Structures are given as C-alpha cells and as structure tokens.
Structure 1
Amino acid sequence: MTGVDLPRQEGDIPRQDREVRILLDSGRVVEANTLFDDVVVRSPAAEDGDRWRRATVLVYRAVVAWRLGRLPLALELAADGWTELETDQPKGPAAAQTIGMLAYLLEGIGHRRAGLDMMRLSVQVARDADDPHTLAHCLQRLGAALNFRAVDAPPEASGRIFAEASELLREGLQLVDTGYVHRALLGSYARALAGINELAAAERTARAAERLATAHEDRWGLAMCHWVLATVRHTQNRLTDARTMASRAVAEAEKINDTTLLLRFSLDLANICAELGDYVGESEALRRSVASGRKAVETLQEGLGQALEQRRLAVQAQRLAMAAQEAAARDPLTGLSNRLGLERAAPLLLESTAAKGRVPWLVLVDVDWFKGLNDDAGHAAGDVALREIAQLLRAECRADDVVARWAGDEFVVLLVDATDEWQDAGPAVAERIRSAVDCHDWSLVLGSTRRPTVSIGVAAGPANLDDLFDAADEALYRAKRHGRNRVEVHPPLLPSK
C-alpha cells in the first residue's frame, strides 16, 4: 500500500495538510497529530465551483486520519468527501486523485474488491484527464495494491498478479522522474520485480529508492525498500541478511504508525526467523504481528463503534426534529392536522391530483351554535364534542385525505385522488359527515344539552388552496343562511389561466 497521497498540484492540498503528511512519513507521529488537530478544523472551500478540489482535500485528510489511527474522524471526512464526489461525473485530475484515495481507505478497512475496482477507475479517469503526474500516482496506488494481493495469493496466481503490477508501475515511472510519487513508484516497482524473480533488477531499483528516501527522510519509502531487499535476500537463501532487512522494515513501519505494513513485514520476518531456527526472533516477530493485527482490529472496532454511535445520535436528532415539525403541524386537542399542517401538505397533494387528471375537493365544516354549547355545557364538554366530531370526520374519509382543524370549531377536509365521479365525490363525503354528526349519540358527552350539528360548504376545481377555501366558505355561508345542518356546493371553479 502507498503512504499518504500527495497530488502534484500544490493548490489542491493546503500547505499545512501537506506538512502533516511529511511529519507522518518521517516518523514524527506526535507532531503530525498535533498539527492535524489545527488543520482539520478548517473546512476546505470549493474554489471556482470546483467541488472535486474540496473532495480531494477532505479525502486526503481522511487518509491522514486513518494513518493516525483516528478512524471515526477518517470515516466522517471520507463520507463528507464522498458526498461531494457523488455530485458530478468523475472528470479531471482532482477526481482521479479523490477516487484513488477513497480506494486506499476501502482497502484499509477491508473492502478490498471495492478498493481495487476504484483504483482501476481512478487510473481510467486520470488517463482521460491527460495529466501525466496524476496518472503516475494512480498507477502507483494500483500497482502497490496488486503487489499486496500477489503476496497473499496462491503460487499459481501470484506471478501473474506481480507481472500486471510491474507493467503498471513501469508505465508510471516513465511519466515522473522526481518527487514523492517517483519514490513510491520505485519502491513498489522493486517489489513487483522481486515477485517475478528479477532479483538483480529488484535490488538495483530498491537501492535507488532507498537513497532517495534517505535524502528526503521518507520512512515509508525506507520501510518499503527494506522489505524488498529482505524479499530478495530470502529468495537468494541469504537468510541472515534477509532477517536484518526485514527487521529494519518492521522498525520503520513502527515509526510511521502504519499497522498494515507492520502486519505484513512482521509475518515475513517471522517466516525468515523460523527458517533460521531463530525461535526467539520468530516469537518476537509473531508477537509484533499479532499486536499490530489486534491493534488494527481494535482500532477498526472502536472507530466503527463510535461512528455507529454518532450515526445513532444523528438519526435520533433527525427523528426529534421531525417529531417537533410534526407536532407543530398537529392540533393537540383533536390530533388532526392544524392549519399549518394543511398548508404544508396541500400544494403537493393538489399538484399530484391534477397530474392524475382528477379534481380535488375541499370540504369546509363548521359546528352550528358552538358558542351556545360551550355556554350551556362548559368548555370541557365543548372540547370533548370537538374531539368526537374530529373522530367522525376521520371515520368518513380515506387515509389519503387530509382532515384538519382549521380554527376553533371549523374543520377542513381536502379530498385528493378521488375514485368516484368528480361531480359527486365532495358532496357525497360532506353529506356522510353531516349525517354522522347529526345521528351521533351525544347523550354521554353533553347530557340534555342541545346536540351539535354541522353546516358544510363544498368546492372543487383545479385551483390552489386559497381559491378552494374561499369558494367553500361562500358555500358554507349559504348553508348557514339557509338554516344550518346542511351541505351547500359551490359551482366548480374554472382552471386558472
């Protein structure tokens, strides 16, 4: 695997972010952690509308957080960057870099197939972008990942995988000849050469990479070079030299806090010690291997646990917010929608009803002589009567219809997606409501107090809520004027011009 990725364009990654990576790769983990705390609080902006540049910085930080063992933060940053990534088709150098770094994270947390697929995608995007340096970087990631696959593969498959890796890495080396990516390419290419048994070329390449890594205090590069040299010596059966080089690789991996490298190198060191009969060395190498594996698992479990808890809290907060919104749109006395709830729901319902070629109906219900009922039976009885009427309204309507308490003793029913002939749907429901209230047994609620009735105005038409309400209100006024306890229908409204 590669170390923290560094795009060529310095404008893509802020200077302090790059300094964190340099500290980390030079083994100064405590300093890297301290500086990263200052860096990560600054949210990267999308300059000139290029959201990919913001995504690149976010995912770059996610990789650094992963290397520092701060998994919850790594997942949070990666998710944020991935969200940016989903907004556009992957195109350009920044997109290729971002996809490649996400692939590195997926590899690290065990999603190896998805990680490899994304690395191949990053190479294709880099080729389309015609940016040699970015393509070299993407080729290096993919080649390094294939090297690790080949090490774990059965003998009949490993040679083929190493050969593919060497071709990719050779192509990358033809594109860049200096810098961090060049050093990483050299180290990875040397390992691929060793894998296809070109030992002399592998050693020459590893030595060249070692000199460059030493000059730049690149401990990640040194760890890789020592691993390659240990592999070469092991293949040559020079086991004492192989043990020395493998021990150096383990030491460098420990210094840069790279548990993935440490696990791989420790296993190789244990195998070499076993062949030498150095059982103390084998035991120590296995201890390091187990410790690094346990640390990786524990870090992953802890991080995923914290991420899950954060997700749970986020969902809980979302539910509370939704509950608060719902409560604000609901009448506490009757449990029906209130005026706010109706006004929120009506536009979409009216639009969808019209789109189906159907006509919405608005039924406006007013309780007759409600003030007198309150005066005679008391406000508590009046409240009970309103709740009873609300239940009767709900019982006479379908689940899709909106039943709301508009204000005081006034209710609104918005009939949508009616399956009856549109000329009859509203009046039919209104008459059922009127009859249900009129025939209801009110003796338990009101005793000998005069039972309530309702007057209803009905209107229909491809109009907005305000127009429907005004038309139904006119019809309701006629119902009141003509004796109450009746339904009046407004003439159908004409379509709005």
Structure 2
Amino acid sequence: MVGHLPAHDRHVRLLLDSGRFAEANAAFDELIKAGTSDVGEHWNRPTVLVHRASVAWRLGRIPLALELIAEGWTDLDVDRPEGPAAAHTISMLGYLLETIGHRGPALELMALSVQIARDSDDQAALAHCLSREGNARVFRAVTRPDETSRAQFELARDLFDESQGLAKPGQVKRSALAGFARALAGVGETAAAERTALEALALGRGADDWFTTAEANWVLAVVRREQNRLEEARTFASRALEGAETIRDTMLMMQFSLDLAAICEELSDPVGESAALRRTVAASSTAVEVLQEGLGQALEQRRVAVQAQRMAVAAREAALRDPLTGLTNRLGLERRAPVLLESTAAAGRVPWLLLLDVDWFKDVNDLAGHTAGDVVLQEVANLLRRECRADDLICRWAGDEFVVLLVDASEESRDAGPIVAERIRAAVQRHDWRLVLGRLTKAPTVSIGVAAGPANLEHLFAAADIALYRAKRAGRNRWEIDGDRPTADSSTTS
C-alpha cells in the first residue's frame, strides 16, 4: 500500500514478500507495540489496522488478526463508506475472506472497494483495489472451472490492465503485471501472456519480490503446458511452488502444487506427481492447523475476555451495593433514581420516597455491641425486601438510615407512600428481636419520613427528611408525611 501506509508497515510487508519471516515477525511486534498513535493525514487508522490484520494472518497469528480485523471494521463507517481509506480497508477485508476460502463474500467486498475507490478519485487506492479484485477473479476461475471461467478471466484482465495504468512503479504494479499475464493466459492469449510474465519475472527478481516471481513462474508453467512443452512447464511450476513456500502463502501453495502434480501426471512422472501431491496435502494441513490453532487461541482469548467482562460488571455492581446488607448504596441510588423517577412520572404515577431511621440504634451498639448492631441492620434490610415490591429501589443511605423509592405502586398513587410506610413500621415492630439482642436493650423500631412530589430526588429527599424529623420529635416508631401533602393518620407510639 505504498503511499497510503507508513514506511514501517510497508517495510514489514516487503520482508514478508521476500520470505524473511523472522525479521518480519520482529518488526511486526514493534509495530504492534507502537500502536497507531502516529496516524498521518495521508492514511487512516482502519486501513492500517486491517492491513496489519493481513500481515498477522500471514504470520500465523490468527487471534491477533481477528482482533485487528474487528477493531478496524468497527472504526470504519460501514453504513456509508467513502474515501480511499475505506476502499483500502474493505478491499483488504475481502482479501482476508479470500484467504480463508469465503470467495463469494470476498468478491462482493472487493467489487465494492473498487467502486468506493473510483468515487474517491484516488488513483493509488484504485490501483490497489483493482489488483486485489483481479487476483480474486483469477483464483475464482482457476479453482472452480465452469462456463463462467472465461468471463472471470476477461474481467480480471481488464482489472489488472487498469491497475497497471494507475499504479506507480513498485509492488502493486509488479503484481498487477503478473496477474495480467495469468488473465491473458486464461483467455487464450498465450503469446502475450508469455511476454508479460517474463517482464513481471524480471521485475520481481530485481526487487526480491517473491510474490510476483512466484505468480510469473506460474503463468509460464501454464503457458508451457498449453504449448505441450511439459518439461519446461514442470520446471516453472516447481519454481512457482518454491516461491509460494518461501513466502508461506497457503492459497498459492495449494494451487501451484496441484498444477505441478497435474503436469507430472502428463509427463508420466509418478515420483514428481507424488511429491507435488504431498506438498499439496502439507499446504492444506498447514492451513487447517493454523486455522484450528488460531480458532482455539481466539476462543480462549474470548473466554478470558468474557470472564474479565463479567468480573468488571460484578465490580461495578459491587460498587453500587452496600456490603453489609446487600442493598443498593448511596451511589447506586443517585445513579438509578433519576431514571426510575422519570419512568414513574411518565407512567402517570406519583413518585414516593420513604426515608427510614432505626430508633434506639445507638443503644443497640452500646449495650449489645457493634456485631449485634450489624445484624439489626441486616434484619431491617430483609424486612424492607419483604414488605416492598421487587421493582422498588431499596437503599442503605448511611449508618442506620434507609431509603425506599416506590416506582410502581399498585395502590392508588396518592396513598402508596403512607400504606407502604405503615407496612414497614408494623413489620419492624412485630419482629422478634430477642434472638439478636436478648433482653439487653430495647427492641428497635423505625421512624419514617414520607414524601411525594416532582420527579426529583433532591426535592423528595429534602421533604422526606423534614417529615422524618417530625416523626422523631413526635416520639418515634411512626411515620409522618411531607407537610405539603394531605396528612394521613400516622401510627401511634407503642
């Protein structure tokens, strides 16, 4: 992707195409560590990510390839892709699908990338996309020979021809030239295919470009086979296969070894045919092993990611819960209440807030101990759960204070707060506290402030706080309603 990728990315790709895998792997590790923070104005992040995915795939690092593909595709505006970067990205996604055998979707993506590149009026991007689609068409014609094969070769020929005219001297122009030669051979223009393949072979050798030289040798093998010069065809096919093996291009390896086996069969060379077929099986096995290993790694990474996500969710939930009672804590109330209040008001109901305080709680701690005090708070929390609905939000506000937000009362909205408050007060009073406290201290009760009004937590809490103060002053073990509302009968002091 010369002109559209940073120099370091191009360097890794050139190392790959030269068969220098140890160096390519080391250089690629450095790229991954560096990330994509230095994105320049002439290329964008999705393009680089997907390009690196294709490099990772060729290096056999399948989980990383999948991760980079997903990240690049997510970064891309897939609803209305436009511009040269989008064209490159979609084209390389097509290339990766082609590599793993999904040729139908691959062709669709590559054709789309060509159209996007045309619309962007970027010649370099268009040259890349044309060349990739051309290669896909060639392999479609070769691997699935049928009545459409010639049409595929003709389309590939036109794509490669246009790509050559647009590309500047370099890898894209060389590979497009080799592809053009194969398309010419596919449509029966044998002489032109031979001249073009020899030109591509010379350019590939001069640039240490094994991809181009392998393809050019493949074309010459096809041409010599057509000319019935089978000895030469076998030589060129062997060279093509050696080139594909050098750069570890599984798709080329499988195709070239099959062609070599067919030529050896025509030469009545069972030894050569057997050797070629063994290389076909080896290439196929390598592809399967890489995919299986990669899938296993990807699944394991997914399992770890899911586990980490669950732990993160649990941690976030824990941050919103009181560890002693298991109720929502103050932070949880502040986060959830606005949504619940809004939905309650939207349903035409009056939101109610109950503010509870445990009576005589200091005596519990002083006389029975803090452990007994903790058990009292836990018991109060359990009673609140029992007397409230599942959809109500119950919160331990602080110390011995609790908040209940009624979000979907089945009673008439104007009476829901007082009804639930009395239910809670009575449940706490009736509860047998002797197992927790013995007879050391007075049994705890609750005082409750009740408020209703606008769907605003701050206003509701302030009104309930005033009502709670009145309940305490009036003797405890009772509930009082916000003075701005019609007064309901409170419980009498026991």
TM-score when normalising by structure 1: 0.90
* Mapped contact 1:46–1:54 kept (Cα < 8 A): no
Q: Give the corresponding residue for 2:230.
A: 239
> Which residue of 108, 118, 124 maps to 1:127?
118
Query: Is the aligned partner of 1:295 residue 2:279?
Result: no
Q: Does 1:18 align with 2:18?
A: no
How much has 1:457 moved relative to structure 2? 0.9
Q: What is the alpha-carbon distance in structure 1 between the residues aligned to residue 219 and residue 78 of structure 2?
A: 41
CA 85–368 in structure 1, closer or farther in 2 if over 3 Å, else same: same
Paired residue for 1:345? 336
Does the CA contact (< 8 Å) of 1:147 and 1:191 recur in 2?
yes
Q: Distance in 1 between matches of 2:124 and 2:244?
A: 26
* Residue 398 of structure 2: aligned partner: 407
Amino acid at match of 1:26: S
Q: Contact 2:345–2:455 at 8 Å: present in 1 too?
A: no
Equivalent in the alignment of 2:479: 487
**SS in structure 2 opposite 1:155?**
coil
Separation of aligned partners in 2, 1:289 and 1:366: 79
Q: Percent identity?
A: 64
Aligned counterpart for 2:263 among listed residues 272, 275, 284: 272
Measured after TM superposition, the shift of residue 97 of structure 1 is 0.9
Aligned residue number for residue 103 of structure 2: 112
Aligned-pair CA distance for 1:123: 1.1
Q: Which residue of 1 aligns with 2:383?
A: 392
What residue number does 2:428 align with?
437
> Structure 1 103/418 Cα, relative in aligned 2: closer, same or farther at 3 Å?
farther
Q: Which whole-Å CA distance do the structure 1 matches of 2:78 and 2:262 have between them?
A: 48
Is 1:478–2:463 an aligned residue pair? Answer: no
Which of residues 358, 364, 370 in structure 2 aligns to 1:373?
Answer: 364
Range with greater deviation from structure 2 (461-470 or 276-285): 461-470
Q: Distance in 2 between matches of 1:48 and 1:226?
A: 38
Deviating more after overlay: 373-382 vs 115-124: 373-382
Say which of 435, 446, 450 aligns to 1:454.
446
Hey, what does 1:3 align to over in structure 2?
none
1:335: which partner in 2? Answer: 326
Provide the C-alpha distance between the structure 2 equivalents of 1:119 and 1:135, rounded to a whole number of angstroms: 11
Question: Does the 8 A contact of 2:103 with 2:140 survive in 1?
Answer: no
Seen in structure 2, the aligned counterparts of structure 1 residues 113 and 482 have a Cα distance that, compared at 3 Å, is: farther
Q: Which region of structure 1 is more displaced relative to structure 2, 32-41 or 389-398?
A: 32-41
The answer for the alignment partner of 2:489 in structure 1 is: none
Q: Which runs of 5+ in 1 are unaligned?
A: 1-5
Moved more, 377-386 or 197-206: 377-386
Answer yes or no: is the 8 Å Cα contact 1:191–1:228 preserved in 2.
yes
Whether the 8 Å CA contact 1:46–1:53 is kept in 2: the answer is: no
Separation in structure 1 between the aligned mates of residue 204 and residue 227 of structure 2, nearest angstrom = 25
Q: Deviations over 1:59-96 (max 9, x none)?
A: 22222222222223322322332222248842211111
State the SS of the aligned residue for 2:44.
helix
Larger CA deviation: 411-420 vs 347-356: 347-356
Deviation, 1:381, is: 3.3
CA distance in structure 1 between the partners assigned to 2:161 and 2:412 by the alignment: 75
Tell me how far 1:342 sits from its aligned partner. 1.8
The residue number in structure 2 matching 1:35 is 27
Partner-residue secondary structure (3-state), 1:156? coil
Q: Counterpart amino acid of 2:398?
A: A
2:81 match: 90
Determine the C-alpha separation between the residues in 2 that align with 1:49 and 1:167: 31
Shift of 1:351: 3.8
Counterpart Cα distance in 2 of 1:87 and 1:445? 63
How far residue 306 of structure 1 moved from its aligned partner, in angstroms, is 1.7
In structure 2, relative to structure 1, the CA distance for the partners of 1:397 and 1:87 (3 Å cut) is: farther
Q: RMSD over aligned Cα, in angstroms? A: 2.4
Check whether the contact 1:461–1:492 (CA below 8 A) recurs between aligned residues.
no
Does 2:395 align with 1:425?
Answer: no
Moved more, 154-163 or 58-67: 154-163
The whole-number CA distance in structure 2 between the counterparts of 1:152 and 1:48 is 40
* Higher mean C-alpha displacement, 189-198 vs 219-228: 189-198
The 8 Å contact of residues 333 and 387 in structure 1, kept in 2 or not, is answered as yes
What pairs with 1:46-125 in structure 2 (closer than 5 Å)? 47=39, 53-86=44-77, 89-125=80-116
SS in 2 for 1:80: helix
Residue 31 (structure 1) shift = 2.4
1:197 aligned residue: 188
Bigger mean CA offset, 330-339 vs 412-421: 412-421
Native 8 Å contact 2:87 2:129 kept in 1: yes
Tell whether the 8 Å contact from 1:147 to 1:161 is kept in structure 2 after alignment.
yes
Deviation track 1:290-333 (CA, whole Å, cap 9, x = no partner) reads 11111121122222222222222222222222222222322222
Shift of 1:414: 1.6
How far the C-alpha of 1:478 sits from its partner, in A, is 1.2
Which secondary structure state, in structure 2, belongs to the residue aligned with residue 75 of structure 1? Answer: helix
- Secondary structure at the counterpart of residue 395 of structure 2: strand
The structural deviation recorded for 1:341 is 2.1
Contact 2:181 2:193 in 1 (8 A): yes
CA distance in 1, matches of 2:419, 2:159: 75
Partner Cα separation in structure 2 for residue 279 and residue 68 of structure 1: 33
Shift of 1:190: 1.8
Distance 1:413 1:373 in 2: 23
> Residues of 2 paired with 1:129 and 1:442: CA distance?
78
Taking a change above 3 Å as real, the CA distance of residues 393 and 245 of structure 1, as seen in their structure-2 partners, is same
Which residue is equivalent to 2:244? 253
| Amino acid paired to 2:90 | I
Q: Which amino acid aligns with 1:288?
A: R
Structure 2 stretches of 5 or more lacking a match? 486-494
SS at match of 1:451: coil
Letter in 2 for 1:181: V
For 2:7, the aligned partner's letter is: R
Is 470-479 or 208-217 further displaced after alignment?
208-217
Contact 1:29–1:257 (8 Å) recurs in 2? no
Aligned partners of 1:420 and 1:142: how far apart in 2? 68
Per-residue Cα deviation, 1:109-138 (whole angstroms, up to 9, x for no partner): 344333222212211211110112211211
In structure 2, do the counterparts of structure 1 residues 154 and 399 end up closer, same or farther at CA, with 3 Å as the change threshold?
farther
Query: What CA distance in whole angstroms lies between the structure 2 residues aligned with 1:141 and 1:294?
Result: 25
Cα distance in structure 2, aligned partners of 1:406 and 1:165 = 71
